[in-house]
Amino acid sequence: MNVRAQKVRRRAGKLAVETGAVDNATRVADYEVKVALAAYFIAEKRGFEPGHELDDWLAAEAEVAQSGQPRVTQPIHLHQTENAS
C-alpha cells in the first residue's frame, strides 16, 4: 500500500470514530425518548397518580428492552477492516 493510500485510510478511520461518537449520542437520545414515552403511557394508564415515577421509568426500560432494541448504553466498538487487495 502506498503512502497516500495509508493517509487516506487513516483519515477515514478517524472520521469513522468521530461519526461513531455522534451516532452513539444519537442512539442514547433515541433510547431515552423511547423510555420516556413508554413511561408516560404507563403513567397515563394508572391515571398519573403521583409517587410511582421511578416504577414507571423502570417498567418502561424493561418494556423497551423487551422490544428487541439494542442496548445503546453500552459502548459501540468500531472495527477497522483492511482490504485484502
Ordered DSSP codes for the chain: --HHHHHHHHHHHHHHHHHHHHHHHHHHHHHHHHHHHHHHHHHHHTTT-TT-HHHHHHHHHHHHHHTTPPPSSSPPPP-------
Is 52 part of any domain? yes
Instruction: State pLDDT tens for residues 49-83.
Output: 999 999 999 999 999 989 865 554 445 455 555 55
Number of independent structural domains in the chain: 1
Is 32 part of any domain? yes
Reported as a pLDDT band with limits 50, 70 and 90, residue 16 is low
Instruction: State pLDDT tens for residues 21-48.
Output: 667 778 888 889 999 999 999 999 989 9
Between residues 47 and 13, the one the model is more confident about: 47
**What does the pLDDT read at residue 70?**
53
Is 75 part of any domain? no
Is 40 part of any domain? yes
Q: Give the range of the structural domain holding residue 21, as residue numbers without chain letter.
A: 3-66
